[in-house]
Chain A
Amino acid sequence: MTKPFIDFEQRVVVVTGASGGLGRVIAQQLSQLNARLLLLGRDGPRLQETLGVLTGCGHELLSLDLMALDAIKPTLTPVLKRMGPVYGLCHCAGQVLFRPLNATKPQALNELMQVNLTAGVELARIICNRTLVTADEGSLVFISSVCGDAGSPGQIAYSASKGAVNAAVRSMAIELAARNIKVNAISPGAIRTDMTETKSGLSAQQIEAIFEKYPLKEGSADDVARTAAFLLAPQNHWITGEDIKVDGGYCAQ
């Protein structure tokens, strides 16, 4: 009997930013591949909507504000202990900030770093604790951005946060290799989601102009979700410390 290319075999994966956008699409993809999910997000009703589009059973949700760093561990740990050993994490939660340098004040920069970097590392720290993580293997994926490598006006804070994520991924990968926990990043180009259209502060024409810069024009959240599923998959044993660009060729220019 041929084994499936990807099968999570009911392993537990935590997906942050699951209230919508990339997080929801990734969660949906993982559920179709037999993962058992813990959905994290700030918006309880929208997490319920995500739960409603998942395949399979045994999924749970937890409304959690990742800006409240001290509350993450005491809130998350009991849920993970109940669900069983954790296999993976897909950190999709993040914020964008489109501001020129003279408007990139310390507080805004610090807040962006907190959710895009610090919260992700804190989640990894909690999940990879030997009392919670599966003993034989694990996989962490951080959703980064092409902005972590490619500079762009108005993206100083966002670029800094995603560049920091990429660097943290490399060190986490090497440190956790001894425990067979893979750590990778995915750097999407601009993907049209609710965050792109409502929180970027850009007009529809500005968004269209952005997609024109991509050799393969506009991509989709499904492109990112399939990549996340592949990197997270227990059938993938030998990719770690990588940052996979899903960007229609943007960074190859």
Chain B
Amino acid sequence: MSEKVSLEDLMAMFAEIFEVEEEDISPQSEKDDIEGWDSMGVLSLMAEYDSLFDIALTPVQLESFKTVNDLIDVVRSAGLLVE
């Protein structure tokens, strides 16, 4: 069963996946401004969402994401974000 995650831990995960310092990424950060949010970054994202949250991100979803908030919303919608 997937465990809930705090926003802080989720942002730390995004910093790790996209290879940026934690202070350089926020929920408002846009995909086009994050160099590491490329095809390889997307693969890492899919792997983490699958292993941590048991969420399979679809190609349609991935294409639709524009900001980090979009990534957070997926976790929130699955009831896995501690707020």
> CB within 8 Å of B: which residues of A?
129-131, 175
* CB–CB B19/A129 < 8 A: yes
B35 within 8 A of A: yes
Closest Cβ of chain A to B24, distance in Å, is: 9
* CB–CB B40/A130 < 8 A: no
B21 within 8 A of A: yes
Interface of B is mostly: loop
> CB within 8 Å of A: which residues of B?
19-21, 35-36, 40
A129 to B18, CA, bound (A): 9
* CB–CB A175/B40 < 8 A: yes
Kindly report which residue of chain A lies nearest to residue B21, judged by CB atoms.
Answer: A131
9 contacts between A and B (CB under 8 A): A129-B19, A130-B19, A130-B20, A130-B35, A130-B36, A131-B19, A131-B20, A131-B21, A175-B40
A175 to B38, CA, bound (A): 12
Kindly report which residue of chain A lies nearest to residue B24, judged by CB atoms.
Answer: A131
Closest Cβ of chain B to A135, distance in Å, is: 9
A129 to B22, CA, bound (A): 13
- A residues less than 8 Å from B20 (CB atoms): 130-131
Closest Cβ of chain A to B33, distance in Å, is: 13
Closest Cβ of chain B to A62, distance in Å, is: 22
A163 to B35, CA, bound (A): 33
A129 to B20, CA, bound (A): 8
Kindly report which residue of chain A lies nearest to residue B41, judged by CB atoms.
Answer: A130
Kindly report which residue of chain A lies nearest to residue B18, judged by CB atoms.
Answer: A130
A131 to B40, CA, bound (A): 16
A175 to B35, CA, bound (A): 15
Kindly report which residue of chain B lies nearest to residue A81, judged by CB atoms.
Answer: B21
Kindly report which residue of chain B lies nearest to residue A73, judged by CB atoms.
Answer: B16
A131 to B19, CA, bound (A): 6
- A residues less than 8 Å from B19 (CB atoms): 129-131
- B residues less than 8 Å from A175 (CB atoms): 40
A131 to B36, CA, bound (A): 10
Closest Cβ of chain B to A175, distance in Å, is: 7
Closest Cβ of chain B to A128, distance in Å, is: 8
